Every structure is written in structure tokens, then in C-alpha cells.
């Protein structure tokens, strides 16, 4: 009897969904568009910032002797630097103030004879990591010139071997955007859920349901299952887009990690959390306007806090702590554990427990509220 009731509630909800198929299609197209555009944007901003950026640098050679000239040439040719010229009428102390360069290297008179060292000045706002990289490169190039070594990097490479592994902390642009905007779109399921719920309330369907021997939990479950299935299908379609289609247009492959099968339990739990949020919104709102506003605002706020709009790795410490209040943070990090860190399931499990608690709280409140709507 329970299964028959659930089946009828499921069929009813599917019929409501089919009447609003445009909204459902939008839920699929929105993350696809966001994945493509935001991946390209991240390639242009974060990838450059983290991996490919050149530091604008001014070189002043006051010596003009052979060693000094050789060092100047090596610095200018290094791929980390982009040499800029200091205008003749500009004081060297003002180059940072006006943003003309981020580092100043002075090769003084007396460098060739070993009387004076190379001088480096940095823009005060330059990230410490870049300062360290600049010091390291300049030290290496200076040692090459002073010691008469052609390529110090090759000499060091024969003594120290770096074992290359997939990145464990910073996701590639496509690893960031595919799960991020798939999860983001899954939370927007609250809009068609709440719209359908309000329609049933306004036309009396919901009140008629409660004249039958059905529990509030069964009604909530019957309304949730179709949307739950949509969210699961939606996520895996976004993964197909991210793994098989997007790389051809973006030029970046998608590394799935050593345990891609872990995506199945993670997605099932994430879908429960997103549909739980949807059914909660559905029972709290009174009008269609409230439904759209609450669902969209809630999803956007959770995305901002959860490391979707601004990647988590780029957040300051305070924001990283604040991110933990967002269920989107736990969902996104669970996927990054799979893609980046090849994490064991025991590492992912605590995140799934948090999402399960979130879903349970949403369903509990919805189950208690739906009877009184």
C-alpha cells in the first residue's frame, strides 16, 4: 500500500514537471553555460596568477662591465620576468606608486669586482610567494655569472629530482567549475519545486491529498523523488560535458583522480541535500515571488560562501572558516577530494555526514510544516 501511494504521488509530480519543462531545461543549460564561460575566465585570471604570470621588472645596470652586462641579459631573458623601461623623467621611487613595475633590480658599480651586491626592491603589495620566486631566480642567475656556470638549473637538476604528481591543492579551471556550477544549479531545483507546491496549494490539490490516509512524510517524499532524480541526472550530464566535450573547446583535460567511482555516493548525498533545500523552500514560501527570491538568494549566498564564485583556495583565512557554514562548500570539497587528492573514502565520509545532516534537517522541517500549509 505504501509503495502504491508513493507511486501515485510520484506520477502526479512528474506530470506537474512536464507542464513546466522549460524551467527544467533551463536547469540543464545554465550550468553548461557557466562551466564554459567561467572555465575560460578562470584560465585568464587564476591560471595566470598561479602558474604563468610574468613579473614586470625594471633593470638598472650602473656598471656596464662584462659580468654586469651578462647578468642583465640573463635576467631579461628569464621567462619569469617581463622587462619594462623606467621613463627618463620618472624617479625610481615612484615606479611602484604608479604601478609601472613590481620589482626593481639595480646592478651597481663594483659588482664585477665583488665590492657591491645586486640590489632588489619590491612593490610593497607584491605577494610574498612572488617575492620569494624572484629572489630565488635572481640568486641563481647571479651565481651563474659570478661562478662562471652556464646553467645552474641543470647542475641542480642532476643533484635533486622533483617527483611530479597531480596538483593536490589548487584545482585546474575545469576541475573547479564543473562540480562547482553543477552543484550550484542543483540548488536551483528549489524554484520548480516550490512553484509546483504553491500551485497545488492554491488549486486545492494539497488539501485534498490530506483527506486521504497519507502521512506528511509520504507527501514530502513523493514530491522529492522526481526532483532528486533530475539532480542526479543533471550532475552526471555536467560531468559528461566537463570530461568529454569542454576539453575540445577549452584545451584543458579533466583529471578525475584515481577513484572516480566515489562520485556516485557523493552525488547521491549531494542530490539529497539540494532537494532537501528545495522542499524546505517550498513549504516556507507563500507566493511565487517569494519562492523565486528565496531559492535564488539562498543558492547564490551558499555559492558565494562555499567557494563557487570565488575559488576556496583564493579566499582569505577568515572566509575559509566562514565557508564551512555553506553546504555547497562540503559538497564541492568532497568532489575535489576525488579529483585532486585521490582521497580515501574515509576522508570524504565526514563531508557526506554533514550534507546528510543538512538534508535531514530540511526534510524534517518540511515534513512538519507541510501539514499546516
Instruction: Categorize the per-residue pLDDT at 209 as very low, low, confident or very high, splitting at 50, 70 and 90.
Output: low
Residue 96 contacts by C-beta under 8 Å, 6 or more apart in sequence?
102, 104, 121, 122, 123, 124
Q: What is the pLDDT of residue 103?
A: 87
Q: What is the pLDDT of residue 6?
A: 65
* % of the chain residues with pLDDT over 70: 75
Mean pLDDT highest for which of 63-77, 97-111, 307-321, 351-365?
351-365
Distance CA 5, CA 219 (A): 9
Q: How many CB atoms lie within 10 A of CB 161?
A: 7
Q: Are 195 and 203 in contact (CB under 8 A)?
A: no
**Stretch(es) of the chain classified as CATH 3.40.1710.10:** 54-157
Q: What is the pLDDT of residues 26-57, one digit of tens each?
A: 767 777 777 777 776 666 555 445 445 678 88
Q: What is the pLDDT of residue 370?
A: 61
The pLDDT of 293-309, averaged and rounded, is: 88
Residue 359 contacts by C-beta under 8 Å, 6 or more apart in sequence?
269, 272, 273, 275, 276
Burial-class residue 318 by CB neighbours within 10 Å (0-12, 13-18, 19+). Answer: exposed
Instruction: Categorize the per-residue pLDDT at 21 as very low, low, confident or very high, splitting at 50, 70 and 90.
Output: low
Q: What is the pLDDT of residue 20?
A: 67
* % of the chain residues with pLDDT over 90: 13
Domain at 54-157, CATH homologous superfamily: abc type-2 transporter like domain (3.40.1710.10)
Q: Which one has a higher pLDDT value, 296 or 221?
A: 296
pTM of the model: 0.68
Q: What is the pLDDT of residue 171?
A: 77
Q: Is the pLDDT score of 372 beyond 50?
A: no
Q: What is the pLDDT of residue 286?
A: 80
Q: Is the pLDDT score of 301 beyond 60?
A: yes
User: Residue 371 carries which DSSP code?
Assistant: G
Residue 277 contacts by C-beta under 8 Å, 6 or more apart in sequence?
187, 190, 298, 327, 358, 362
Distance CA 129, CA 213 (A): 66
Q: How many CB atoms lie within 10 A of CB 202?
A: 11
Q: What is the pLDDT of residues 65-122, one digit of tens each?
A: 888 888 888 888 888 888 888 767 667 667 777 777 888 888 888 888 888 888 888 8
Q: Rounded mean pLDDT of the chain? A: 79
Distance CA 257, CA 347 (A): 14
Strand-by-strand arrangement of the 81-83 sheet: 81-83, 55-61, 103-107, 119-122
Amino acid at each position: 500500500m505504501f509503495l502504491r501511494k508513493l507511486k501515485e504521488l510520484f506520477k502526479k509530480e512528474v506530470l506537474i514537471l512536464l507542464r513546466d519543462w522549460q524551467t527544467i531545461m533551463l536547469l540543464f543549460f545554465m550550468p553548461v553555460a557557466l562551466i564554459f564561460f567561467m572555465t575560460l575566465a578562470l584560465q585568464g585570471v587564476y591560471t595566470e596568477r598561479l602558474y604563468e604570470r610574468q613579473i614586470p621588472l625594471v633593470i638598472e645596470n650602473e656598471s656596464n662591465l662584462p659580468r654586469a652586462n651578462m647578468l642583465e641579459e640573463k635576467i631579461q631573458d628569464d621567462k619569469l620576468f617581463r622587462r619594462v623601461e623606467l621613463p627618463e623623467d620618472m624617479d625610481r621611487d615612484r615606479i611602484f606608486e604608479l604601478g609601472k613595475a613590481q620589482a626593481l633590480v639595480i646592478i651597481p658599480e663594483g659588482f664585477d669586482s665583488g665590492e657591491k651586491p645586486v640590489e632588489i626592491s619590491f612593490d610593497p603589495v607584491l605577494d610574498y610567494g612572488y617575492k620569494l620566486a624572484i629572489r630565488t631566480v635572481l640568486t641563481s642567475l647571479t651565481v651563474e655569472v659570478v661562478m662562471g656556470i652556464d646553467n645552474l638549473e641543470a647542475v641542480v637538476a642532476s643533484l635533486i629530482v622533483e617527483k611530479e604528481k597531480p596538483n593536490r591543492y589548487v584545482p585546474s579551471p575545469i576541475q573547479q567549475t564543473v562540480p562547482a556550477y553543477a552543484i550550484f544549479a542543483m540548488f536551483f531545483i528549489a524554484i520548480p519545486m516550490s512553484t509546483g507546491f504553491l500551485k497545488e496549494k492554491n488549486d486545492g490539490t494539497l488539501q485534498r491529498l490530506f483527506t486521504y490516509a497519507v502521512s506528511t512524510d509520504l507527501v514530502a517524499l513523493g514530491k522529492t523523488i522526481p526532483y532528486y532524480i533530475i539532480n542526479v541526472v543533471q550532475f552526471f550530464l555536467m560531468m559528461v560535458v566537463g570530461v568529454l566535450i569542454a576539453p575540445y573547446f577549452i584545451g584543458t583535460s579533466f583529471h578525475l583522480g584515481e577513484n572516480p567511482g566515489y562520485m556516485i555516493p557523493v552525488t547521491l548525498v549531494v542530490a539529497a541535500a539540494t532537494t532537501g533545500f528545495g522542499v524546505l523552500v517550498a513549504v516556507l514560501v507563500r507566493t511565487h515571488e517569494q519562492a523565486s527570491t528565496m531559492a535564488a538568494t539562498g543558492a547564490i549566498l551558499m555559492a558565494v560562501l562555499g567557494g563557487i564564485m570565488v575559488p576556496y583556495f583564493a579566499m582569505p583565512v577568515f572566509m575559509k572558516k566562514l565557508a564551512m557554514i555553506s553546504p555547497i562548500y562540503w559538497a564541492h570539497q568532497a568532489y575535489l577530494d576525488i579529483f585532486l587528492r585521490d582521497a580515501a573514502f574515509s576522508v570524504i565520509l565526514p563531508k557526506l555526514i554533514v550534507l546528510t545532516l543538512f538534508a535531514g534537517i530540511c526534510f524534517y522541517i518540511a515534513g512538519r510544516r507541510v501539514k499546516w500549509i
